[in-house]
Structure 1
């Protein structure tokens, strides 16, 4: 059995590649994990090689009891809420020591019964993985990650179902441990919305971040900080316009480093999702709503 294998990583791309040379999988919103299964026991490693077996006991137990001689399986540990994986729910379950909702979606097989499979084409590795799981009757919380050959249709489904995105992989490619190459490409879905600016963090000649809220009728609900998406010119212009605004009649927060303003400017913000705490996840400023 090998030790921990640094995982292959995906390169961000704006749209899925076309052609029969690619397969396409769900981009899960969870913790990347590597399961090492052998007669000596089962270990579950994080993306960086930390041994988190004790944090995923139900997954480790299912793998340990399957009767597999030797295998190294690459995948993602998630919690599914509705029709999508939810990173916030996974973090909450980990913090509370709840394991009943955790799933391990296996999508690659790196080692099997003394054989290093990393030079084997991906489509063959996935076939061997599926056969292994069927032969040993693996079931929830350990599941096989299906794929599609049509990336355009799969990405459209990802947008419709509010998945994080898809991962497109060259079907004939080897596994490039520790590499971020074009043979694996991640294509993310995103949301865009307008939010009133309720405060900002000043910086030299501009701003360090905006603080925004969602408007529901006359009510404002704070949804967090936007700290990316500004050029120096945009940052300076925002600072000039925000400095001209009066303080708000009602503050949504009381933090000294944030300068609160009357919410008369509205920002276009692109973001991945809303966290369990109600904050924007991975937000990026895209401009002011000038209308």
Structure 2
């Protein structure tokens, strides 16, 4: 029996994790959401959008034999760990092309097993079966539930630099697409970016347009919700250092600046571009002559 890729269940983003005993909580890993499919034709690994990336994950395909299943569909995340033992998205891209042996598949749900569709079973039961299939010490690992109070878990994950947590209703069935049965709460990080300009339109909030300091590439905008004093100081600097628009960027309501203004931005951790970002403060790069 050949199994088809199943569109994954997508958690809803929330500010705070849910309280109460109806939920289990897991680490939100910083990697590629993936689906492991085992059937009579062998093992395949798909991306969250259903692209077949089996050829990119040769070592993990071999590891799938350790699950001991005739057929299965496993939902999980492919990650690589940094020297602190945390999942590292930047390192993941390098590992896929050159360090296959550093890849891990963290399994957190079981949708199908040996001819049986398990999606109507309660999450807790599906996870119990999945945990029993996974051998310790392998590179296919089980995403353990975190014990304790949701707020305390979230605080601990934040302090340790993790991306966030996913909370799942214990009795929930697996339904493809966006769902409130799974909720993700993400931690915030504060980093410095190059300020490209400030976008201001009448009756709308002002946004700082930011670029990666190493590459100069645009990474997104940050809401300017700083104090009035900081906003006024920023606008004064922007006017003093007005410059041309970066190549390829057309945003008519933006006052562009010459390089040298560095913004401190609070943003969701573990995203490629800035999300839910706000400008906390800014400074002038030391190489630029001070003007106050």
1:230–1:285 CA contact under 8 A, matched in 2:
yes
- From 186, 190, 193, the equivalent of 1:192 is 190
The answer for the alignment partner of 2:172 in structure 1 is: 173
- Residue equivalent to 1:227: 220
- 8 Å contact kept, 1:165–1:188: yes
Q: Residues 196 and 24 (structure 1 numbering): CA distance in 2 closer, same or farther, change over 3 Å?
A: closer
Structure 2 counterpart SS, 1:4? coil
Structure 1 counterpart of 2:22: 21
Maintained 8 Å contact 2:238/2:257: no
Out of 258, 263, 272, the residue aligned to residue 261 of structure 1 is: 258
User: In the superposition, relative to structure 1, how do residues 202 and 171 fare at CA in structure 2: closer, same or farther (>3 Å)?
Assistant: closer
Q: 2 CA distance for matches of 1:89 and 1:24?
A: 25
Q: Per-residue displacement from partner, 1:23-54 (whole Å, max 9, x unpaired)?
A: 00110111111111134301111101111111
**Relative to 1, partners in 2 of residues 1:9 and 1:285: Cα closer, same or farther, differing over 3 Å?**
closer
Structure 2 unaligned regions, length at least 5: 250-255, 284-292
Matches within 5 A, 1:11-90: 11-64=12-65, 66-81=67-82, 82-90=84-92
CA distance in 2, matches of 1:274, 1:60: 26
Deviation of the 1:67 alpha carbon = 3.5
The structural deviation recorded for 1:157 is 1.8
**Which residue does the alignment assign to 1:154?**
153
> What do the CA deviations read for 1:196-226 (whole angstroms, capped 9, x no partner)?
8653277888988534688xxxxxx788645
**Does the 8 Å contact 1:72/1:111 carry over to 2?**
yes
C-alpha deviations, 1:87-108, integer Å up to 9, x for none? Answer: 11001222x3320110000000
Task: Name the CA distance, whole Å, in 2 between partners of 1:124 and 1:106.
Answer: 14
Aligned length: 266
* Cα distance in 2 for residues equivalent to 1:201 and 1:16: 33
Alpha-carbon distance between aligned partners in 1 of 2:11 and 2:176, rounded to the nearest angstrom: 11
1:289 to 265, 273, 281: 281
Matched, 1:9 2:5: no
Where does the alignment leave 5 or more consecutive residues of structure 1 unmatched?
A: 215-220, 249-253
1:271 Cα deviation after fit: 2.6
TM-score computed with the length of structure 2 as normaliser: 0.77
Q: Does 1:91 align with 2:93?
A: yes
In the alignment, the residues of structure 1 paired with residue 195 and residue 215 of structure 2 have an alpha-carbon distance, to the nearest angstrom, of 8
Partners of 2:235 and 2:268 lie apart in 1 by 29
User: Taking structure 1 as the reference length, what is the TM-score of the superposition?
Assistant: 0.77
1:108 and 1:261, CA in 2 relative to 1: closer, same or farther beyond 3 A?
A: same
Task: Tell me if the contact between 1:272 and 1:281 (Cα under 8 Å) persists in the aligned partners.
Answer: no
